[in-house]
Amino acid sequence: MQLMDVVTAYLYGSLDSDIYLKVPDRISVPNNSAKRNMYCVKLNKSLYGLKQSGRMWYNRLSEFLL
């Protein structure tokens, strides 16, 4: 391995469990008359500030190096 981009690894890392978030204010919901807290967003890839991101990145790196 000659070069590694840690930020990209955090942003595009895969997740081993389902993680749901509240819908951000800028995203529209399908039913405008319903409350926003009735909806949630499922993450497909990890985020930089997510607690699981570091662990998933370490697991993937360890598997690759082994």
**Domain limits at 28?**
6-65
User: Which pLDDT does position 6 carry in this prediction?
Assistant: 65
Does residue 51 belong to any structural domain of this protein?
yes
User: Which pLDDT does position 8 carry in this prediction?
Assistant: 67
User: Which pLDDT does position 7 carry in this prediction?
Assistant: 61
Q: How many domains does the chain have?
A: 1
* Sign, Cα dihedral of 18, 10, 12, 43: positive
Q: Where are the alpha helices (DSSP H) in the chain?
A: 6-11, 51-65
Distance (Å, rounded) from C-alpha 41 to C-alpha 9?
21
Does residue 26 belong to any structural domain of this protein?
yes
- The whole model's pTM is what? 0.57
CA-closest candidate to residue 17, choices 58, 49, 48, 53: 53
Does residue 52 belong to any structural domain of this protein?
yes
Which stretches in the chain have pLDDT values below 50?
none
Distance (Å, rounded) from C-alpha 7 to C-alpha 48?
7
User: Which pLDDT does position 54 carry in this prediction?
Assistant: 77
